Chain A
Amino acid sequence: MSVRPNTRPAGHKPLFWRDRAKRAIVFQLLLTAAVAVFLFYIIGNVQDNLSARGITTGFGFLNNTAGFGIVQSLIDYSSQDTYGRTFLVGLLNTLLVGGLGVIAATLIGFIVGIARLSPNWLLARLATAYIETFRNIPLLLQIFFWYFAVLRTLPSARDSLAFGEVIFLNVRGLYLPEPLFESGFGLIPATFIVAIIASIALLLWNKRRQEATGKRIPAVWISLVLIFGLPLLITVATGVPITWDIPELRGFNFRGGFTVIPEFLALWMALSIYTAAFIAEIVRSGIQAISHGQTEAAQALSLPRNLVLRLVVIPQALRVIIPPLTSQYLNLIKNSSLATAIGYPDLVSVFAGTTLNQTGQAIEVIAMTMAVYLTISLLVSMFMNWFNARVALVER
């Protein structure tokens, strides 16, 4: 057995360009420096050229008065507020439709995905038809469809569909009564929070007790009663400290109450239904990835079908489902920028549309808008990666 002689004299360090690790560090430093110099040069170049052409730069415009109205705002906004505030209004509107879209798409997606595997022939075919229809039509067309084709059939403000004379639906949107809280109302949300904490404690205790003794109580039902019953009891006990601001027709439109604008409804529906079709396929593939033996084993333990799904199949399927699901969530949030086509006041429409045009500061506005989408996407990714790590297979 020949041993390759070590040509390097012991105790003598190699020259640093002969050392692979050190060489790598040097090259990486050089590359980083080159990128930094390049960026520095580009930014300086842009600034020089813009000022040479008399184009205003900087973020000072954010403090100027915006002077235009926005149809939906989650925070107080009037046309006398600043451009900075329009950024916030647009951002919150984007987050609203993105957040509610993710929730609705997940619910619909799971239901359709599971329905597609149902032994019921009709249910399975309906789910397939849903998936193939909605994922194969461009999203923008679907948004136009919900907005122009469906909403257009709604009646005008004067012929609104009324539900019990308190809820009205017409082409201008859905008008709901708005609760106005009187003094003493604070007790109700407080009870609600206490009930939630108590329910969580109860569920944890029930789980531990079941693991220790095998006995269980219907903790889910008890929690639901706690969460909804207790606040209701307090509400009645305090003499219902809520009055309702009921929308009524005055002049052209309904005034008062709470309005859900049709742009929001159309965008929310389109985004949820479109993305749900993809999520349904992801759910189906996740479930099918679980060996059928698992289901058979669970059935052999005589678990009912819903428990087989809930306790055996879905927890394992989630490991397959979560990573592609993350991409769908990111797609949904980014697709919400199509809002501008139907006039929903999201970030792109309000800030990268009107504000950009009134101030003309394209570079700053677009950079801020891109930074927002990047930040949202990275946060969603981070959360989903954390969640993925939690449900990942833990070897015992």
Chain B
Amino acid sequence: MKTLKWISVGACALAPAFAMGTTLETVQSRDSVRCGVNAAQPGFSSLDDSDQYRGLDTDICRAVAAAALGDASKVDFVPLDSVERFTALQSGEVDLLSRTTTWTSSRDTTLGMHFTGVSYFDGQAFMVASDLGVQSAEELDGAAVCTQSGTTSELNLSDYFRMNDMSYDAVVFDSPEQSIAGFEAGRCDVLSSDASQLYAQRMQLADPDMAVVLPEIISKEPLGPAVRQGDDQWFNIVKWSLFAMLNAEELDVSSSNIDEHADSANPDIARLLGQDGNFGEGMGLNADWAYQIIKQVGNYAEIYDRNVGAGSNFNIARGLNALWRDGGIQYAPPIR
């Protein structure tokens, strides 16, 4: 029996190609979604007092679990650092990556992965010590800049300083905890990262007022979930889980009022909630897939507010992340 086990393990290791089923079948037979997230980035993915992951990124994972399994709690969170995240997705260690990952052309085309949409429009910014009296990023010539390895930040930083004819010293740490510690110790004048992360890191300082985030945004950082190439059904499930939350906000359907729409006269709501037609069928899901997402996780406004918006410590304005009708650029194709 033991021999047989080892033979089968060996056979799997040597199989010419992974002959696994689709990701949805794997997820359903395992009865959980394996989701790659940040280990500790408050607002996006961090452990709360009761050891539960909380954040915008983790709510995306929950939405996918609600759609695929009908239960938002069936998620195995896999904390990944920025260096190991792509390998974890490529090798099948996780079913999707929802880890403040910037959608770039090279990642989309050469890493065997597909971004499914933009869950948060971010941009790189600078945080400086208040007592330096710096008002604008253009005054930063000659500064020492702390940042993290394995992110798009390093590239943007170098481009920005070169374009503005300024010099800088990059001090690159391998985790956000180290880079904020370096900044707090005075190793560098400036901490540079995505604006959302800077706000979270500023809250971690012993005295948040010792630092200010400069107004300049020097790059486009569309953050979104990503899946492996080659499984279009799973790609669609993750993509439409996010779109369902955006559509729900647009239709003013939230987790609290969803049951009042049980027999909606609005055809868009009826289609979203699976009362009219079955729009889950094409993805191998039940007709109530979007209902489960909104009921158990919420619409986009709800997850935004409780994690990074007005209902959280960070109080980040919606800005670009507002719906298109409210002056932002979040826009989802319709469900019909």
Contacts and interface: CB of A to CB of B under 8 A. Distances in A.
A362 B86 contact: yes
Contact of B228 (A53, A253, A340): A53
Interface in B59-107: 82-83, 86-87, 90, 106-107
Interface of B: 14, 16-18, 82-83, 86-87, 90, 106-107, 109-112, 132, 140-144, 146, 149-151, 154-155, 157-159, 161-162, 168-174, 178-179, 181-182, 185-187, 189, 228-230
A49 B185 CA distance: 46
A350 to B, nearest CB: 8
Contacts, number: 130
Interface in A347-396: 349, 352-354, 356-360, 362
Interface stretch (A12-20, A122-130, A148-156, A198-206): A148-156
Contacts of A359: 106, 110
30 contacts: A41-B14, A50-B112, A53-B90, A54-B110, A54-B230, A55-B110, A69-B154, A69-B157, A69-B168, A71-B171, A79-B162, A148-B185, A171-B187, A172-B187, A251-B142, A251-B143, A252-B142, A252-B144, A263-B171, A342-B178, A343-B174, A349-B174, A352-B83, A353-B150, A356-B150, A357-B83, A358-B155, A359-B106, A360-B86, A362-B86
Given A55-B90, A79-B159, 8 more contacts: A71-B172, A148-B181, A151-B185, A151-B187, A252-B142, A253-B169, A357-B149, A359-B110
A354 B149 contact: yes
A52 interface: yes
Given A251-B141, A262-B187, A362-B87, A55 B112 contact: yes
B170 A253 contact: no
A172 B162 CA distance: 22
**Which of A50, A340, A345, A352 has the largest count of B CB atoms less than 10 A from its CB?**
A340
B149 A342 contact: no
A349 B174 CA distance: 8
A68 B149 CA distance: 10
B124 to A, nearest CB: 13
Interface of A: 41, 45, 48-50, 52-56, 67-71, 79-80, 148, 151-152, 156, 171-172, 250-253, 255, 262-263, 340-343, 345, 349, 352-354, 356-360, 362
Nearest to B159: A67
Contact of B230 (A53, A79, A360): A53
Given A52-B17, A53-B112, A353 B174 contact: yes
A262 B144 CA distance: 12
B142 A253 contact: yes
Given A54-B112, A360-B111, A69 B185 contact: no
Contact of A68 (B109, B146, B157): B157
B60 to A, nearest CB: 22
A151 B185 CA distance: 8
Contacts of B82: 357
Nearest to B84: A362
Nearest to B229: A54
Contacts of A262: 187
A353 B149 contact: yes
A235 to B, nearest CB: 33
**Which of A56, A255, A343, A362 has the largest count of B CB atoms less than 10 A from its CB?**
A343
Contacts of B189: 252-253
A357 B174 CA distance: 12
Contact of A253 (B144, B149, B172, B182): B144
Contact of B170 (A50, A68, A171, A353): A68
Contacts of A356: 83, 150
A353 B141 contact: no
A53 B229 contact: yes
A39 to B, nearest CB: 13
Contact of B178 (A341, A357, A362): A341
Contacts of A45: 14, 16
